[in-house]
Structure formats: structure tokens, C-alpha cells
């Protein structure tokens, strides 16, 4: 059983009064906007259903191929990260060596 609060009842009464006062053109515009929103909602829902159907029909082999491709991409990404980390470590080592050489020269 749906029980309305006083605030909701008041709001509904205000909306009903506004609708009774609106011109036929305004009513038509309002209803057109409502129909458009409903149609857009239905389009989105059907798009989502189509995507889900398509995903369900995807062959397991395609899924496995995609999974394998992603694994290879992840491995390549990991290798690039390691290479970049090694370069940074090399630069840091060179910078530390230069700094220690400068410090030794300053102390001498």
C-alpha cells in the first residue's frame, strides 16, 4: 500500500493545478517532452540489451583470443615499465656518481 506524505500530496496537488491551468499548446509540449524521454530510455535499454545479446553470442574462442591478446599487451606493458625503471635507475646512479665526484673535488 502506497502512503503519500503531506509534502508529496501537496506537490501533487500543485502539479495538478498547474496542469489544469496550462494551455493546450503547453500541455502538448510537456507531453511531447515526456514521450521523448520515454523513447530515449527505451532506445538506451534496447541498445544495452543488444550489447548483452552480442556478448552472449560471442564465441568462446574469440573470448580466449581476446584474453590472450590482452595478456600479451600486459606483458609488453610490463616490459616497457621495467625498461623505463632501469633507465631511471641508471640516470640516478650516474647523477649520484657525478655528485659524489663533485663532492670529493670540493673537499680536496
Look at residue 2 and tell me if it is in a domain. Answer: no
- Are residue 102 and residue 89 in the same domain, yes or no? yes
By the 8 A CB rule, do 4 and 12 touch? Answer: yes
| Residues of the domain holding 70 | 59-108
Q: How far apart are CA 82 and CA 71, in angstroms?
A: 16
- Are residue 50 and residue 90 in the same domain, yes or no? no
- Are residue 68 and residue 53 in the same domain, yes or no? no
The rounded percent of the chain whose pLDDT value lies above 70 is 94
> pTM score, two decimals?
0.39
Q: How many domains does the chain have?
A: 2
- Are residue 74 and residue 108 in the same domain, yes or no? yes
pLDDT digits (tens, 9 = 90+) for 66-87: 778 888 899 999 999 999 999 9
pLDDT attached to residue 108: 62
Q: How far apart are CA 77 and CA 97, in angstroms?
A: 30
pLDDT surpasses 60 at 1: no
- Are residue 45 and residue 64 in the same domain, yes or no? no
Q: Between these two residues, 49 and 67, which has the higher pLDDT value?
A: 49
- Are residue 47 and residue 66 in the same domain, yes or no? no
- Are residue 63 and residue 108 in the same domain, yes or no? yes
Helix, strand, or coil (residue 1) = coil
Amino acid at each position: 500500500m502506497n502512503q503519500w506524505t503531506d509534502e508529496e500530496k501537496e506537490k501533487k496537488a500543485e502539479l495538478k493545478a498547474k496542469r489544469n491551468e496550462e494551455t493546450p499548446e503547453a500541455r502538448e509540449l510537456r507531453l511531447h517532452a515526456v514521450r521523448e524521454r520515454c523513447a530515449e530510455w527505451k532506445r538506451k535499454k534496447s541498445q544495452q540489451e543488444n550489447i548483452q545479446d552480442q556478448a552472449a553470442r560471442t564465441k568462446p574462442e574469440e573470448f580466449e583470443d581476446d584474453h590472450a591478446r590482452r595478456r600479451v599487451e600486459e606483458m609488453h606493458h610490463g616490459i616497457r615499465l621495467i625498461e623505463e625503471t632501469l633507465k631511471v635507475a641508471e640516470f640516478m646512479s650516474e647523477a649520484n656518481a657525478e655528485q659524489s665526484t663533485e663532492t670529493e673535488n670540493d673537499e680536496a
